[in-house]
Structure 1
Amino acid sequence: MRKDFTVALLGIVSITVIILLISLKQYSTQIDALTKENEQLSLQTQKLESEINFSKPKTIKSDQMNYATWGELENIATSFSNDSEGAFKKSWGIYLVNESKKHELDPYLIYELLKVETGGTFDPKLVGPETKYGHAYGMSQFMKNTAPWIANMADLPYDDELLFDPYYSIKLSIVYLDFLHQQYNDWNEALTAYHRGMAGMEAYKQANGSAKSNYAIKIQSNAETHRTVAFAN
């Protein structure tokens, strides 16, 4: 009888251990799920805070407001048109310079970004290659899952067809790049995030030690060269 009791006790202990192991596994799974959910909430909160800060009006100095006279606007716009052999229209350039200065951004940086994004074609109707996230559209190459909330930040209406409007596309690129630069306060990070997405930029940093991607380097280098040549002329 004592032997039967021992066997029964061992059986109870075994069942208890199994139950504990299952409970621990379930608990571990729940912890992992909560950790991932917390990370997602943290990213969403960070994004929301950035959007709120972005929407606050900036204090612009009087000398910044007077940066571009009509002649300067025209000269920069002409340099864009000449550099693109007419593909980037002068009227687009005037709009780009004016809008970029409202956001205190370098117009040459915006122009070179659009140049890289379109492969130098500046085609407003451009549809990018298919990816697992879909296609990118227009001169600034936005995807349909990103463009609506950028349009909202810019206080603009949204429709898929508007992505093919050059002025609309230029405006979105300026607003988004401004948002990213305010988010990171670093041009390598801002430009790489524009190209890869915010999560993609963080992944690139972890893999490479910094966000200094070829994409970011090329745009900044070309902008500096373009600006130097334009001022020399």
Structure 2
Amino acid sequence: MRFTVDDAPVELVPENLVIAGWTGRDEAAIRHHIDELAALGVTPPSATPLFYRVSAALLTTASRIEVVGTATSGEVEPMILQASGQRWLGLGSDHTDRELEAYSVAASKQVCAKPCAPALWQWETVADRLDDLRLESWIEEGGVWVPYQDGTLAAIRPLADLIDGSDLGQLSSGAPAAMMCGTFGAKGGVRPAARFRMRLSDSVLGREITHEYETVALPVIA
């Protein structure tokens, strides 16, 4: 995969991909996300947070992904990439099959591609103020972009704690690894959307990472 860091190209081929779930720092926020997914039939987690291993080949910077059926949607998340002793922060979407999620969260995370932005920030440039970074997402409904998620990383467990809890450092000791670090509740509830737009903002340095993608729904053949 080709990324850019300060406009310089960086070639990375992640060999491990971790999806961190239920990572809210506020217990009430975690409960809200559990409840909104429970409304879709999703079984509550056995513990929080949880770390799901999925195929690294799912990670993509493409602007279009293919999914089965129309019951899928994205979730904006901070994304960590590590390789050869270096670490970067990026932006990703844990795109998930919501119907399959009611049967198995782990399986639902494996069947969808994980879109991410092609731009990364050096970890050292944000490590001391991660909580101030803002995540936003929008979905297209009826031809209009509708605000879907909005919050700062202060709503998510400290990323350093997630790295330790997931053994991400150990995973990447011999090969590049990536982790999506969780999200927060959706305005109006979790729901399918064919187009998804997301942004990570750094107000101190006046910069942002953005990405937009659409889904192509393949027919469900029984």
Note whether the superposition's TM-score is higher than 0.5: no
**Between Structure 1 and Structure 2, which shows a larger proportion of helix residues?**
1
**Between Structure 1 and Structure 2, which shows a larger proportion of strand residues?**
2
State the TM bucket, normalised to the shorter chain: under 0.3
The structure having more radius of gyration, on CA atoms, is 1
